[in-house]
Structure 1
């Protein structure tokens, strides 16, 4: 608009009304309109009276939608102020006009330039701006899509890994990202969770396998005495054991196997209680008291066996009571099982020592025998349920293989350890290690 306004003001800079405009307005002849004017190709010249009625209307080219009348107050104000005004096109769809109004005699002389070129320029610029904006928007969207895909790539990896885990692959892991980003921290947290899940499933599988083996072994152990009882009962029923001494022998075997089966059931119940309620009732227990009782009972059962109790108080051992925090009954069972194991698997003429002492705030209780000891490779398996080192040994002599397993689990539930050491010179030493309570 500024350029158009400057073009309209140019003819009036030297004189109020250029002669060529006066001549055109007076003659109102279209063939003279271009003479002497340096104007754009589309302009108009109007002559209107004080009432706004147009008496002469010339345009180049002709037929440009010139108005048939003008507002007299607008003309008067524009002529007095010298301001350039905008006129509407007679055609509603046509471009308007920018007009300069001046007085000529008793009329108004109006020189106008069409805004069609300006409107077209604005339309072109608008179209160009729109197209450029669309291109920029598309490029920005594509760039944003690329950036988002790159940013969400770790989440895609997380989704893929989750699918693999859902399919059963618990070894899958998410690629570690930048730990300073939220996605990186999320990946690290999920990897840690996956490790825990894998360990939980592995523990579940181990527990299920252990339970299946436990049930199978328990059934097998109970089947043996039941078979023996059934066999002797059938002998009596069929009359094959007719003599009194034969009946007495079968009855004795039935009683022995029933006692043995009762012992197995008791051991199974102990293990079941340990599995269901692993936390013992804890109170201070001086191990010298249950140790003395258990050794006294063992001497009554096997009076010919030499069993020695040693309370270690000389340095580096501490001269203090071997007190621990735990369940008195369960700790008695540990000592009973360890001593029974030593009595069962050593010759009757070999001595057994039970040592207890405190060192470095730990209580050490050791049952030392001088028998054959364990074969290499069985040092840890000996604490498994139903395990026997000699598979061929008869069950009547070897027991059910639950004593050491029960002792190990009780000690573990007391936050301690039960381990095997080879006795110097031959034999087995089973060591219980527990925290000392002052």
Structure 2
């Protein structure tokens, strides 16, 4: 069995080389074609001039003399009866077809003609070309009819013709070589200039490969192919950099989430473990001590259960939120939340009123404000906002709960403006919305705290004490619910000016 040798692929050539040699080849073909056409046209013209001279040449009748004989036929020319140009040669053939004599002379070897006129092959009586008797020369010959069924062949040398064509061939060769050399040099320069944007792209790609994503391609002229390519690549790089930043942010957020979750779970688990070990080591404790230990174990277990429930709820809301779609009156939701938190006001006066739009036409009476959504989840959001306002403000701080409808804008809510933060994208300005606000006159939040207040496990309290807050998941859950309803949760705050948490939802069909 014979073993086949695999075919080796040829060495790939660069785009620059292909363009240069392709342009040189096309130029060579074009120049060679033009030179060939010019050479053929000039050769034909020169040969026609020679043929015209042969056609115009005729011997006068007195050129021939008659020998005394019974046939009285012309036999030979009279050398003294005609003067020929120096280049002409005339060969005479008698009536029998045999060569009889030659007229004309010169140093150049004469044409090689047959001894019989029948052996002279000229197509259609047109002139033909025959070689010289000796050397590399050629003669142009034409057969003509003489008196008395005789013939004579007129010949002209083609030395001038051959010399002109040979010089033209040499000149064409020199021009072709010079043209190709110049075209290759010019093509290399033009191609290098033309491919300069690609060279810059290559350098930029090398920088990006090294890990620097900030460089961008400078050639973005949409009128050129490289400019359009540069624009597309810059867009791709922007999206790639954005995706990498989002991935880094997501990874950092995940690490922070895991650390926060571990921190939240560690405290109650440590308490449970400590009280359990205490109960096992000191079985002789009094009943009051055992009841206190059991109560603390149950309390910390409840905290863990609530934390796990919140985490499961967040996971459910992020993955596949399942909301009921009913007509919900936000005014009733706000009133239920105020009633539910009446037992934990701690001296906070709570007022339920209409939404203020900052105009003289503000409503003075509460009206029905309907939207579409899950009433249970929306009550959860309202209760969370109101509980936060009561928990994070000093006793006696006034809390206002406002409900109303309007159009999305900087004043009413739903759009972005300086001093307003939200984890959700803004609504289109002018969209009909329903709003539930919980505003307090407490100390407010710093810009840094406001930017992170919707993060999971974040609490503005640096000590992370549970005496002034829950697990730090309430606002994250409320924001997820609001976004799941097509709206958003936002915060307007400033240090010393209180905080306004605003639930913005799309208005229902019956809301003006």
1:234 deviation in Å?
0.7
1:260 deviation in Å?
0.9
Counterpart CA distance in 1 for 2:467 and 2:134 is: 119
CA 1:50–1:220: 2 relative to 1, 3 Å? farther
CA 1:285–1:96: 2 relative to 1, 3 Å? farther
Is this contact kept in 1: 2:478–2:489, CA < 8 A? no
> Residues 135-191 of structure 1: CA distance to partner in whole angstroms, max 9, x if unpaired?
435544554554444444334444444444344332221224432334333322332
**What aligned pairs does 1:223-238 form with structure 2 within 5 A after superposition?**
223-238=266-281
Is this contact kept in 2: 1:334–1:410, CA < 8 A? yes
Identify which range, 120-129 or 161-170, moves more after superposition: 161-170
Task: Output the TM-score relative to the length of structure 1.
Answer: 0.80
Counterpart CA distance in 1 for 2:121 and 2:281 is: 144
CA 1:359–1:220: 2 relative to 1, 3 Å? same
Counterpart CA distance in 1 for 2:457 and 2:220 is: 49
Residue 169 in 1 paired to residue 215 in 2? no
Structure 2 portions without partners, runs of 5+: 1-46, 66-75, 408-431
Residue 124 in 1 paired to residue 124 in 2? no
Tell me, what secondary structure is at the counterpart of 1:67? Answer: coil
Give the equivalent residue in structure 2 for 1:203: 246
Give the equivalent residue in structure 1 for 2:317: 274
Counterpart CA distance in 2 for 1:417 and 1:304 is: 27
Tell me, what secondary structure is at the counterpart of 1:329? Answer: helix
Structure 1 portions without partners, runs of 5+: none
Query: Equivalent of 1:342, from 389, 392, 395?
Result: 389
1:26 deviation in Å?
5.5
1:214 deviation in Å?
0.7
CA 1:139–1:208: 2 relative to 1, 3 Å? same
1:336 deviation in Å?
1.8
Is this contact kept in 1: 2:334–2:403, CA < 8 A? no
Give the equivalent residue in structure 2 for 1:329: 376
CA 1:324–1:123: 2 relative to 1, 3 Å? farther
Give the equivalent residue in structure 1 for 2:445: 374
Residue 256 in 1 paired to residue 294 in 2? no
CA 1:133–1:325: 2 relative to 1, 3 Å? farther
Task: Output the TM-score relative to the length of structure 2.
Answer: 0.70
Tell me, what secondary structure is at the counterpart of 2:266? Answer: helix
CA 1:321–1:229: 2 relative to 1, 3 Å? same
1:389 deviation in Å?
2.0
CA RMSD of aligned residues (A): 4.0
CA 1:281–1:49: 2 relative to 1, 3 Å? farther
CA 1:117–1:312: 2 relative to 1, 3 Å? closer
